[in-house]
Structure 1
Amino acid sequence: MGFSRPRTGKDGKIRYAAVYRDLRGNIRHAGTFATQAQADKAWQKALAKLTLERLPDPGKGRQSFRRYVEEVWFPNHVIELRTRENYDYEINRHIMPWFANMRMIDVMPIDVREWVTHLRNEGVNPPTIRYCMTILSAIFTTALNDMVIVLHPCKGVRTPPVPKKKRTIITPEQFDVLYEALPNARMQLLVETKVETGLRWGELTELRIQDLDLTTRTLTVSRVVIELASKYHPEGGRFLVKDYPKDREHRVLKLSRQITDKLATYTRAEQLHDGELLFFLRSQELSQPPRLRVLADPDTLGLTARNEAGRTYRHGTLSGYSAGKCRCQHCKNAYAHYRAQRRATGKDSPRSRRVVNSDGHIPRAWFRDHVWKPAIKTAKLRVYVRPHDLRHAHASWLLAGGADLQVVRDRLGHASISTTEKYLHTLPDDNDSTLDAFSKIRNRSKPDNQQATG
């Protein structure tokens, strides 16, 4: 709807403003003109343009994939910041090199299939290919909804199958060995709290004193901390606290008496108060001593494999690393020692030592490298266990002990109970009862079994 509105200027002359309402009902102006006819023509033209912009336009599909993703889709796609960081990496690493210069309307299913084949030939693993396909499909779904394209090129395109890996469930006996291998009592308490509660890493490291009620032995999970690259952080930092956990629902966990007593002793010893982190990184833990390298005598290490020119070099030498392209620890140590000497004498631009960027939260990588991996090595477990596997162990132990499936689901914050069901019968000794039942029927005809039953 539009109309012409007369207005009198400072010179006393009457002019006409072209006025119309947009789709939201807001008043818009298309200019001021000397005659009413010109004003009517202007607002009618503006309304026609507004209507055309809402109709499919083949010209939209002629824009390049890069332009649509970088200027339209990615800036306006509502996702979590951590997911945005992951999307940005995969788009630039695996998607953009193939589709960047193609027009949106020209991308067909055959192009997507060729891209999948290309990734397989490049050695990209199936889970990454499936993740990239999820991103690409989201891009073209939005483009289809925006009427940029008329065909979804990802529909019907299959990715390599991703085999389901068996979850590593640490047994209570293995946990006890790992527990003793941890470096100090504080890290032991952190790990024990994780296996007793099943918290995710971001939930565990964001726990604060006010979340712990020692009287009722309950723990409230209401926040989570995530680690981001500075370019994705709203304030250029490293850690970002979200006021909701992964399932977007606060939950309250009941604690055992023994872990409650340990946490009470710990909070008193550390003199922690409301608002402070329960588990935090101390300042002295941030600075790590320089790594000591023991350089072996190259004459005792033998020769490297032949390079492209058919030549071999001694291990533990610069030639072994550079010309022989050997990456054994001896050759790497020799090259690192050479570079350190050059920096010390000012021959190379010195690079500042990497430091742990923390606001008190324990970085996941720092814990893995300085606490977890050394403990795994010392414990000499026959399987490798990740910190997140303690969450799996918590669920498995609860169900093996007879806990209700729905209660375990609520405790872990699973969105679907089918996720919790995957932890049923996951302990190695859970199959013993099944084998005993099989043996009872299988061997009932044997004489020894008959005498035993007689």
Structure 2
Amino acid sequence: MSGNEKGRKRRFGSVRRLPSGRFQARYTGPDGLTRTAPRTFETQRSSAQWLVETEAEMLRGEWLDPDAGKVPLAEYADRWVRERTLKTRTREEYERHLRLHVRPYLGHVAVNEMTPAKIRTWRADRLNDGVGESTVAKTYRILHAIFTTAVDDDELIRRNPCRIRGAGQDKAEERPTATLDQVFAIAEKIQRRYRLLVLLATFAQLRFGELVALRRSSVDLAAMELRVRLATAEMADGSQVDDDPKSEAGKRPISLPQALRGDIELHLATFAQPGRHGRLFIGAQGGIPRRRNFNRVWKKALKEAGIPDDMGLHLHDLRHTGSTWSAQSGATLKELMARIGHSSTRAAMIYQHANRERDQAIAAALDVLIEAARGEIPA
């Protein structure tokens, strides 16, 4: 039955009655291939209406190839990662999240069969299985990005099935803030080659990867300025790679408190590798410090400095500590964002680069805090 209910030949597509009594619609797509509707219909009228809607989609340029979206999510996600221009460490991170948290649960589902309900169930199951909220949020953001490509670029589906409000937001746990006395106590007790690392983590608010990537040439003693250009990342195979910081904002000059001049000069003379491009920090065996090895040194220093175990203080917490003190020293939000190298798409129109004079003023204010603390704790 290719005509309509009144017997006239149908202009677009055809409808036939199946032995079951239901109706099947067929049509020729823009690619010249004959396709069958993904479902059958109870009445001839409903099947004809579906053909009208399908023809309208083709005329508006909104028709989607129903076969293209049949690719399993695991296959599509792997291709998505391969085609992205990603830093090595970021690529490894994406692949790990997909391997551990997506492929075993959603990998077999076709892209065009993914629904908001499936995504909600997947997320709830991961959380109920004890996967950390931050990990689930990160994986959700990756999934959202993958399906955005499927909608906007590849036109495999009409809408992104990742629609859970707030699911991609990290809910960071409250981290401890050290006191000035605690910072200098740790700096005194840690291995001497890492004393300056503790101070720069605090007063320059650097990440571990940024710290171990510093070179002699990163330090301008005349201007008391640090130039951050690289970050060292540890790969899954154990190799260490110098790469760009987490964002363009991570490439930044940082004014240093004058009170650290003596510490920097002593470190350069004693521990830094020779040559302009020698590393500022090296391990006891001459290699690039690794997080795991450094953590053992860090924990020993915490114990000797009398830092309570239940405080749970990590090296990265010194970055937060220093940022807090910078704010208390008068830094504006824009200046803080520039100093710590933070950037995000949401903040791109709000946060601007701090000017050099104000950054130096922040460092000068930190000087006051350092000198006050050193009045009680020797450098």
TM range (shorter): 0.5 to 0.7
Tell me how far apart the structure 1 counterparts of residues 265 and 166 of structure 2 sit (CA, whole Å).
Answer: 54
Aligned ranges for residues 263-282 of structure 1 at < 5 Å? 263-270=264-271, 272-282=274-284
Indicate the residue corresponding to 2:44 in structure 1. none
Tell me how far apart the structure 2 counterparts of residues 161 and 196 of structure 1 sit (CA, whole Å).
Answer: 28
Indicate the residue corresponding to 2:196 in structure 1. 189
Larger Cα Rg: Structure 1 or Structure 2? 1
Alignment RMSD: 2.9
Confirm whether residue 361 of structure 1 aligns to residue 288 of structure 2. yes
Distance apart, 1:98 and its partner CA: 1.2
Confirm whether residue 57 of structure 1 aligns to residue 65 of structure 2. yes
Tell me how far apart the structure 2 counterparts of residues 397 and 365 of structure 1 sit (CA, whole Å).
Answer: 28
Tell me how far apart the structure 2 counterparts of residues 245 and 409 of structure 1 sit (CA, whole Å).
Answer: 14
Confirm whether residue 376 of structure 1 aligns to residue 273 of structure 2. no
CA contact (8 A) 2:141 2:168 kept: no
| 1:404-442 CA distance string (max 9 Å, x none) | 44433322222257899xxxxxxxxxxxxxxxxxxxxxx
Tell me how far apart the structure 2 counterparts of residues 255 and 197 of structure 1 sit (CA, whole Å).
Answer: 7
Given candidates 187, 190, 215, the residue that maps to 1:179 is 187
CA contact (8 A) 1:168 1:385 kept: yes
Instruction: Decide whether aligned partners of structure 1 residues 62 and 241 sit closer, same or farther in structure 2, where only a CA change above 3 A counts.
Output: same
| 1:202-239 CA distance string (max 9 Å, x none) | 11111111111222222211222211123xxxxxx711
Indicate the residue corresponding to 2:10 in structure 1. none
Aligned ranges for residues 12-411 of structure 1 at < 5 Å? 56-70=64-78, 72-145=79-152, 146-156=154-164, 159=167, 163-182=171-190, 184-230=191-237, 238-243=239-244, 246-248=247-249, 250-270=251-271, 272-283=274-285, 360-368=287-295, 370-382=296-308, 383-411=311-339
Q: Which range moves more in the overlay, 139-148 or 261-270? A: 261-270
Distance apart, 1:273 and its partner CA: 2.0
CA contact (8 A) 1:126 1:160 kept: no
**Residue type matched to 2:301 in 1?**
A
CA contact (8 A) 1:197 1:255 kept: yes
Instruction: Decide whether aligned partners of structure 1 residues 86 and 400 sit closer, same or farther in structure 2, where only a CA change above 3 A counts.
Output: same
Confirm whether residue 414 of structure 1 aligns to residue 368 of structure 2. no
Distance apart, 1:142 and its partner CA: 1.1
CA contact (8 A) 1:280 1:362 kept: yes
Tell me how far apart the structure 2 counterparts of residues 407 and 248 of structure 1 sit (CA, whole Å).
Answer: 12
CA contact (8 A) 2:73 2:106 kept: yes
Helix, strand or coil: the match of 2:315? coil
Tell me how far apart the structure 2 counterparts of residues 190 and 273 of structure 1 sit (CA, whole Å).
Answer: 19
Seq. identity, %: 28
Helix, strand or coil: the match of 1:58? coil
Tell me how far apart the structure 2 counterparts of residues 157 and 212 of structure 1 sit (CA, whole Å).
Answer: 44
**Residue type matched to 2:147 in 1?**
F
Helix, strand or coil: the match of 1:283? coil
Tell me how far apart the structure 2 counterparts of residues 157 and 108 of structure 1 sit (CA, whole Å).
Answer: 15
Instruction: Decide whether aligned partners of structure 1 residues 269 and 247 sit closer, same or farther in structure 2, where only a CA change above 3 A counts.
Output: same
Tell me how far apart the structure 1 counterparts of residues 164 and 176 of structure 2 sit (CA, whole Å).
Answer: 34
Helix, strand or coil: the match of 2:163? coil
Distance apart, 1:193 and its partner CA: 2.5
Instruction: Decide whether aligned partners of structure 1 residues 248 and 157 sit closer, same or farther in structure 2, where only a CA change above 3 A counts.
Output: closer
Helix, strand or coil: the match of 2:263? helix
CA contact (8 A) 2:115 2:161 kept: yes
- Residues matched between the structures, number: 286
Runs of 5+ unmatched residues, structure 2: 1-30, 34-61, 354-379
Tell me how far apart the structure 2 counterparts of residues 253 and 161 of structure 1 sit (CA, whole Å).
Answer: 29
Indicate the residue corresponding to 2:39 in structure 1. none
**Residue type matched to 1:253 in 2?**
I
| 1:366-409 CA distance string (max 9 Å, x none) | 111x2111222333323121101111111111222334444333
Helix, strand or coil: the match of 1:388? helix
Instruction: Decide whether aligned partners of structure 1 residues 409 and 161 sit closer, same or farther in structure 2, where only a CA change above 3 A counts.
Output: closer
Indicate the residue corresponding to 1:317 in structure 2. none
Q: Which range moves more in the overlay, 76-85 or 101-110? A: 76-85
Distance apart, 1:134 and its partner CA: 1.1
CA contact (8 A) 1:228 1:240 kept: yes
Helix, strand or coil: the match of 2:281? coil
Instruction: Decide whether aligned partners of structure 1 residues 140 and 222 sit closer, same or farther in structure 2, where only a CA change above 3 A counts.
Output: same
CA contact (8 A) 1:221 1:245 kept: no
